[in-house]
Chains A and B, each alone.
Chain A
Amino acid sequence: KAGVTQTPRYLIKTRGQQVTLSCSPISGHRSVSWYQQTPGQGLQFLFEYFSETQRNKGNFPGRFSGRQFSNSRSEMNVSTLELGDSALYLCASSLAAQGPSTDTQYFGPGTRLTVL
């Protein structure tokens, strides 16, 4: 079974631009979560989608948004990029209808975003 895939793997943008990252979950998984990983803040939860609806949201500004399609693929968008948005963005998928708190999440390799 194919794992979680994320595209692109690497991305370089400049301040003020916007970016869209893509995540394809494991086949059959309906929950997709997004995380930001930085050396200073560690891993932080961005949001979680289930059945095309945002079910949970972390403490990030509105510049960070996402969506999920009917095939469970998810995209994350960051508008008006800031230098501090440079990070590894990880996507994770899981089966559970109950949410990530009870079910195992499977992580993709991440997208490394650099903002210049």
Chain B
Amino acid sequence: AQSVTQLDSHVSVSEGTPVLLRCNYSSSYSPSLFWYVQHPNKGLQLLLKYTSAATLVKGINGFEAEFKKSETSFHLTKPSAHMSDAAEYFCVVSFRGSQGNLIFGKGTKLSVKP
């Protein structure tokens, strides 16, 4: 069965320090992978997506993620956190043959301390 696991429900960092949000997936197929961000009382905004091109994907606002097939991981990173990065982040997986619907991780809430 296909699934996605976000390993941390809550991550707290200080402003200016690196961010690492972890995501692992399970799939028998080649996945498409996405990271979305949700600010309070807002919809989801796409940060970046992987669809079997380059394994290192650059997104908006300085975020990037690396697809590692051997580790079935797609961790999200940012070199330096900003206060405005405080939000909830969702790792999302879709699989060709899954009837097209997306499978969402449970989310990681990122807090940024001044």
| Complex: A99 Cα to B104 Cα, angstroms | 16
For chain B residues 41-92, which have a beta carbon within 8 Å of chain A? 41-46, 49, 51, 90
Is there an interface contact between A109 and B101, defined as CB atoms closer than 8 Å?
no
- Residues on A with beta carbons closer than 8 Å to the beta carbon of B105: 42
Chain B interface (Cβ within 8 Å of chain A)?
A: 32, 34, 36, 41-46, 49, 51, 90, 94-96, 98-107
Q: What number of A-B contacts does a CB cutoff of 8 Å give?
A: 60
- Residues on A with beta carbons closer than 8 Å to the beta carbon of B106: 42
A sample of 5 inter-chain contacts (CB < 8 A) reads A33-B101, A56-B100, A90-B44, A104-B46, A109-B43
Is there an interface contact between A90 and B96, defined as CB atoms closer than 8 Å?
no
- Residues on A with beta carbons closer than 8 Å to the beta carbon of B43: 4, 90, 107-110
Chain A interface (Cβ within 8 Å of chain B)?
A: 4, 33, 35, 42-45, 48, 55-56, 58, 90, 92, 98-102, 104-110
Is there an interface contact between A101 and B44, defined as CB atoms closer than 8 Å?
no
Residue of B nearest to A99 (CB): B100
Is there an interface contact between B101 and A102, defined as CB atoms closer than 8 Å?
no
Is there an interface contact between A43 and B101, defined as CB atoms closer than 8 Å?
no
| Complex: A56 Cα to B106 Cα, angstroms | 22
User: How far is the CB of B50 from the nearest CB of chain A, in Å?
Assistant: 12
